[in-house]
Amino acid sequence: MKTRPLSLVSAFALAICVVPAWAADPLPSWNDTATKKAIITFVESVTTKGSPDFVPPAERIATFDNDGTLWSEKPVYFQLIFAIDRVKALAPQHPEWKDQEPFASLLKGDLEAALAGGEKAVAEIVMATHAGMTTEEFEKMGKEWIATARHPQTKRLYTEMVYQPMLEFLAYLRANGFKTFIVSGGGIEFMRPWTEAVYGIPPEQVVGSSIKTRFEMRDDGPVLVRLPEMNFVDDKEGKPIGIHSHIGRRPIAAFGNSDGDLQMLKWTAAGSGPRFCLLVHHTDAQRE
Amino acid sequence: MKTRPLSLVSAFALAICVVPAWAADPLPSWNDTATKKAIITFVESVTTKGSPDFVPPAERIATFDNDGTLWSEKPVYFQLIFAIDRVKALAPQHPEWKDQEPFASLLKGDLEAALAGGEKAVAEIVMATHAGMTTEEFEKMGKEWIATARHPQTKRLYTEMVYQPMLEFLAYLRANGFKTFIVSGGGIEFMRPWTEAVYGIPPEQVVGSSIKTRFEMRDDGPVLVRLPEMNFVDDKEGKPIGIHSHIGRRPIAAFGNSDGDLQMLKWTAAGSGPRFCLLVHHTDAQRE
């Protein structure tokens, strides 16, 4: 059989279809480094039909840590600032907090003293501020805070403290058929109300830490009540467990910035076929 | 400003775009009942731009029970048959089971006696057959079973014991921009290996019951080991909790067949805007 040469019209149609994908740099904020090249080479190798490394779209799962990877975590985790703001808002209803740690120190603005109690102190702050309301009430609180609270140094909204190169990277992966997930030690219900608008990641693609909830039928309908009891810690060994539980497939690419992400990266790298794992180290405080 | 009349060409282009969607009955196996009409009216009302009930695609979440809703659950839950087959396969390594309930009765083929021990007996069967291996080993077992095991009465593969009207319904919803999820009391890892091929529902859209897992670094790489401890029961009050945990949005449509689905239906119906909830009652044993 002779192959039929493309007509001029078909060739032109092909050209106008193909050109836009390559015409512009998909990662304009990235410096031209070996890392950038490696990313683009990886994406091309798994998306090119006929390539030995081709991965079907359904299996193009990429997972991202949030704190320090997609948005800043300085001076402290932003969710901790949310919790502190909630402690201040709730203080009038808790006069006993004036003499009770870690709340007493928090209310005096002494974060270091408040956190001196270690994990126990953090758990007390989390449960006092994140439990005891319905999931809808908590979502409303989170939404109001994220829409109005300002970073202590930059005075920007926290949703403006995200990394532009990572936004480009998320969009680039999605344009190439990847499904992008957040896998964060942060609270799943703290993140979900804003990740779609800020990162383009919908709630069902957010994996995070959680407290238990209880289903209750009330006079005005069913609710889920947030209980002061941990359900799942999505950090370190928890990240592969959270990925397995929520996604049910092993990612082919994973991105983190800390020790808490190592197990996720190892779990990702251990799969068969091409894998891409990256520890992000944000150093460009100026452009941030 | 005058409105510009559509040119003949545009009108024709519009016609050939629109016709295929309505030309054929999207639910050919469904009898022409009020239920079928209500479904189509609902789907049209939430997908028609400008309709007061319009729902953006991202929020078109539909959840389906599995056992008795998408596939048969007669004579017993198919996952229980899988567990019994596993008990038989493992029996040579467990000579003590000959004198130990519920295994002794199971091995004699007396299911009723085996289940006389109630929930405790079921838990023992589940843990003996579903725990103690890595997640990859369990997935392999499940895949082999589902590809070869036959229904005791029909002698068909279990994946052929699915309801044709529900397959059409899933496809119809997806063609209208819905994201379809399974929310089942069955094991999440039992379902995930085959739901995509059978129902078009990918692993990350399957919510189910689960046992705990532990992350372990072994010489040949990281694994998740399945532990003999319940993690989550995705039934009754668990269904809204599972939906909230995995999906993070309230469904606008939910489908079940039993008391175990009532809380999911109530949770779905309690959202604002248009909702569709259906208790499926399969009665057509002949066509099944």
**B213 band by pLDDT with thresholds 50, 70 and 90:** very high
Q: Between β-strands B61-64 and B253-256, what pairing exists: parallel, antiparallel or unpaired?
A: parallel
Mean pLDDT of B126-142: 97
Nearest CA in chain B to A243: B204
Q: How far apart are CA B231 and CA B241, in angstroms?
A: 13
Closest CA to B238 of A215, A75, A141: A215
Burial class from Cβ neighbours inside 10 Å (0-12, 13-18, 19+) for residue A49 reads exposed
Band of pLDDT at residue A4, cut at 50, 70 and 90: very low
ipTM for the complex? Answer: 0.89
Question: Interior CA angle at B30 toward B29 and B31, to 5°?
Answer: 120
The CB-based long-range contact list for B267-271 (8 Å cut-off, 24+ gap) reads B267/A215, B267/A222, B267/B239, B267/B240, B267/B243, B268/B63, B270/A221, B270/A222
A188-230: pLDDT as tens digits: 999 999 999 999 999 999 999 999 999 999 999 999 999 999 9
Residue A18 has pLDDT above 50, yes or no: no
CA angle (B189 as vertex; B66, A254 as ends), nearest 5: 120
pTM: 0.90
Determine contact, residues A280/A257, Cβ cutoff 8 Å.
Answer: yes
Mean pLDDT (whole number) for B69-75: 94
Q: Which residues of A touch B (CB under 8 A)?
A: 58, 61, 135, 179, 188-189, 192, 196, 202-206, 210, 213-215, 217, 221-222, 224, 231, 237-238, 240-241, 244-249, 263, 266-267, 270
Between the CA of residue A35 and those of A24, A40, A44, A190, B96, what are the distances in Å? 18, 9, 14, 31, 58
State how far the Cα of A199 lies from the Cα of A26, in Å rounded to an integer.
16
CB contacts of B215 in chain A (<8 Å) are 237-238, 240-241, 263, 267
The C-alpha angle B58, B61, B269, rounded to 5 degrees, equals 125
**DSSP 8-state secondary structure symbol assigned to residue A235:** S
pLDDT on residue B77: 94
Tell me the three state secondary structure of residue A93: helix
Torsions phi, psi for B67 (to 5 deg): -65, 115
Strands (E), chain B: 61-64, 179-187, 206-218, 221-232, 253-256, 276-279
Judge whether residue A260 has pLDDT over 60.
Answer: yes
**pLDDT by residue (tens digit) across B224-242?**
999 999 999 999 999 999 9
Q: Which of A58, A206, A266 sits opposite B248 (nearest CB)?
A: A206
Phi, psi of A218 (to 5 degrees): -110, 170
Residue with structure tokens 């810690």? A233
Q: Which residue carries 């609710």 as its tokens? A: A223
Contact status, residue A73 vs residue A80, Cβ threshold 8 Å: no
Residue B128 has pLDDT above 70, yes or no: yes
Give which of B215, B159, B86, B143 is closest to A245, Cα–Cα.
B215
Q: In the A/B pair of chains, how many CB contacts fall below 8 A?
A: 86
Q: From residue A49, how far is each of A45, A56, B203, B280 by CA, in Å?
A: 9, 9, 24, 42
Residue A88 near residue A107, CB atoms below 8 Å: yes
**What is the reported pLDDT for B1?**
37
How are beta strands B221-232 and B253-256 bridged, if at all? unpaired
Q: Tell me the β-bridge partners of A155.
A: none
CA–CA distances in Å: residue B20 to residues A268, B11, B17, B71:
42, 15, 7, 29
Could you report the per-residue pLDDT of A68-110, keeping only the tens digit for each? 999 999 999 999 999 999 999 999 999 999 999 999 999 999 9
Q: How far away is chain B from the Cα of A275, in angstroms, using its nearest Cα? A: 15
* Model pLDDT, residue B281: 78
Q: What would the pLDDT profile of B37-48 be if each residue is shown by its tens digit?
A: 999 999 999 999
Helix (H) or strand (E) holding A206: strand A206-218
Contact B246 A246 (CB under 8 A): yes
Lookup: tokens for B14: 């519009």
- Under an 8 A CB cutoff, do B206 and A237 touch? no
Quick one: pLDDT at residue A10?
A: 39
Return all residues near A263 (Cβ < 8 A) that are at least 6 apart: A236, A237, A239, A240, B215, B222
Q: What is the identity of the amino acid at B263?
A: Q
Cβ neighbours for A98, distance < 8 A, ≥ 6 positions apart:
A104, A107
Contact between residue B192 and residue B136 where contact means Cβ atoms under 8 Å apart: no
Would you state the pLDDT for residue B231? 97
- The pair of structure tokens assigned to A35 is 């890392």
Q: Do B249 and A58 touch (CB under 8 A)?
A: no
Give A65's Cβ-side CA count (13 Å radius). 29
